[in-house]
Structure 1
Amino acid sequence: MLGLRFSILAICLVLSLQWIGPVDSKICQTHDNKTGTCQRVRDCPALKSISDKLINKIPLTNKEEILRNCVLPCEKQYTLCCEESLNPDGLKLLKENESICGSFGEPKDRTKYRPWTALLEYYDDLQHGRRFYCGGTLITSKFVLTAAQCIKDNLVSVRLGEFALGKTPDCLLLGNHTRCLDRPVDVPIEKVFVHEGFEENIKNVRVSNNIALIRLKDPVQFNDLIGPICLPVSPDLQLESQTVKSLDVFGWDLMMQLNGYIPRWPLYELLESTACNIQDEKKICIRNSESYRYRGDVGGALVYPSQYNGRQLLVQAGIVSVDIVERSDRSLTEGTDVSDFMGWITETIAKKD
């Protein structure tokens, strides 16, 4: 037994020496080459159970003993590499769209530039009608990803395939020709899933786990104007999404209620979390490089271009949040880090209830 333990420790030591963690990323690689995230012991289920047993002097199983000796430290103090398990059924649903997800046209062809952008529609009692207040992102034919802050009792439907709000139909002058687009689709909502850890405390200026999923009543048909975004499903994409230098945001400026005829595309710079004084590892800090007045539609996507599986595509790295923190630098704001929630996303979209 002593020889076996020595061999295990020796193997883990070699693996530790070979592993080089990314300087600016929370994504890491475990001793057995699986994707993980840098977490404190109390936030990692596998490591917390080992810690609890050690505290209570309960013997570990052979598997737990191996994990205890092999776990790799991250660069941030007091964090270790915790394996991030993705639900295989949910992952399969996302990978079904790998050949078409994240598609985009040339900037001049704006109608095809962001087919995954969604609008959340609410019933407005004061105006006795419906209004759009939040954005979202189509990730499969049945699910839209958004911010938990956007889930309200009066949320009634999701609009897909919209281009210019306030214009029916949407018609554009392309060269010497006028092109009118198909009408957008308003899809009723079947069920909403808010992250169980979501917490919004305006008094203490804290928003945690700001992520939600909307399951549509009927699956949508993909076309030039409606299609899914790519999510960081692989280790490479997860690492890339947390170390990329800039992010794009798409939206109609819904918070300003200006009717937002043409979607806007400001560029955001991804910064170290310390720039926004963020303590929550599941948030990202971003700076609007064009104008602090426009922050994107809450619940909308923060995306970046990537080369994956032989094609260029857009990957969603973050979710736009309502930033309730008063900052001296008003160009700074926070977003939700999508990579840190891939386990929750794949588990949720696989649910049958």
Structure 2
Amino acid sequence: MVISGRAWFTPGVPGIYVVLLCDVLTELGHDPAPLLRGLGFDRQGLLDPECRLPLDQANAAAEAALARVGEAGLGFRYARAMRITLHGPVGLLALSSPTIDDGLDAARRYLGLRAPFLNVQREPLEDDRQALCFRTDFGPGPVRSFVIEAMVIGFVYMLEQLMEAPPDGAEVHFQGPPPAHAEALRRTVPVPVRYDQPRDALIVSAALLGARPRLADPQAEALAREQCELEFRRWRANQEGPLPERVRAALRDQAPPLPDLTEVAERLAVSPRTLKRHLQQAGLTYRELQDEARYRQARKLLADRALRISEVAWALGYNDVANFSRAFKRWSGQTPKAYRGGGAPA
């Protein structure tokens, strides 16, 4: 069934981003029609301003595109095709902000309106630079690699569009080894790109953060911020429900390692203090909800008998296998080895 009407505003991925994915596939010589049929949408339906795709459908679209493209570097090509104006009032707010720093903060604050699967945290570095560190809800695999590459490089091109010039003082860091398309990416992206780094991040200098976007305009910024706040309130209204259950849902969809309380509070658009208070009123702590999620993730990972117990521990964020074993026994009454029946590699 092809849906050509509205998919009413719900937290999810805007349909316009899937349209852009189809256009990139076309540029690479692939027919996007099977992808659209698989989603049950047509192009007109996806272009509706209120169309949002649930994360599982967005994931399916990315998987289908990657299956067609293979090692062609879909992530950075997608980022290169992205224009800041496609982000609606969020993009306009970034364009009209008084400094690059303000523009990046605006993009981070309203990120959930456009990319609810992504979290960006700022981390100061010792040399007065800042790292915008990217994390995604997608687990390890090609989709996660695509999303991280597209989002980090997308922020580079956003800076270029804000400055109307290459963003001097920026560089890209990726955690993994160079992919097959690394050289093509480096020739295309206007900043240094480094692999085998400790974080997936966009590194920006203090001078770049203090620069003024070419289209900075206080009146346009105020109007865009008002629009973003209106959309943000609508987005939050669609997430309403008991806050502890919303935390559980956020942790359920999160790939390991789990975020801390401050990160989850930011994602749910509440203060850490408010989140703690709601959990206390429900007789819960954030640690307990983290343990619930870790226990669920541990059972899932332990079911893959190709993984050593030490690998499961590291994937869950434990540096010491013994600590993981003690935690798992506290949750289940069994050690990880006993849970597997005693025959799993350690």
Normalised TM-score (structure 2): 0.25
Say which structure, 1 or 2, has more relative contact order (CA 8 Å, 6+ apart). 1
Larger helix proportion of the pair: 2
Larger strand proportion of the pair: 1
Normalised TM-score (structure 1): 0.24
